[in-house]
Homo-oligomer: A and B are copies of this chain.
Amino acid sequence: MLLEMAGPPNTLRELGLIEQIRRDFSSSSEAFSSSSKAVTLGIGDDCAILRPAAGSEVLVTTDFTLEGRHFRRDLHPPESVGHRCLARGLSDLAAMGATPVAAFLSLALPGTMLAESAGRDWIARFFSGLRTLGEMHRVPLAGGDTSESPGGNNGLIFADIVLVGAAPKGEAIRRSGGVAGDAVYVTGQLGGAAAELAAILRRQRRILNVATTEGHPHLFPEPRLDVGESLLRRRLANACIDVSDGLSTDLAHLCRASGVCAEIEQAALPIHPLALKLGTAAALLAALHGGEDYELLFTAPASVPIPSSLAGVPITRIGSLKNRRAGRPLVTMLAPDGSRAELQPAGWEHFSGISSEISSQIRPGTAKSRKKKPH
Contact = CB atoms under 8 A, between A and B. Distances in A.
B46 A15 contact: no
Contact of A6 (B4, B245, B371): B245
B4 A47 contact: no
Interface string A127-161: 00000000000000011110111111000101010
Contacts of A148: 69
Contact of A60 (B8, B50, B91, B160): B50
Interface of A, helix, strand, loop or mixed by DSSP: mixed
Given A41-B174, A257-B45, A162 B104 contact: yes
A63 interface: yes
Interface string A264-305: 000000000000000000000000000000000000000000
B59 A48 contact: yes
Nearest to A14: B373
A352 interface: yes
A241 B46 contact: yes
A64 B108 contact: yes
A50 B46 contact: no
Given A66-B108, A68-B150, A108-B158, A54 B54 contact: yes
Contacts of A145: 62-64, 160
Interface size class of A (residues with CB under 8 A): 35 or more
Max chain B CB contacts within 10 Å: which of A52, A59, A156?
A59
A9 B241 CA distance: 24
A268 B167 CA distance: 50
B96 A245 contact: no
A206 interface: no
Interface string A231-269: 000000000011011000000000001000000000000
A62 B349 CA distance: 27
Contacts of A2: 61
Given A62-B160, A143-B61, A147-B69, A165 B375 contact: no
A81 to B, nearest CB: 14
A123 interface: no
A60 B47 contact: yes
Interface of A: 1-2, 4-9, 12-13, 15, 19, 40-41, 44-52, 54, 57-64, 66-69, 88, 91-93, 95-96, 98, 102, 104, 106, 108, 142-145, 147-152, 156, 158, 160, 162-165, 167, 169, 172, 174-176, 241-242, 244-245, 257, 349-350, 352-354, 370-373, 375
The 6 A-B residue pairs whose C-beta atoms are closest, nearest first, are: A68-B150, A47-B59, A160-B160, A46-B95, A46-B92, A47-B61
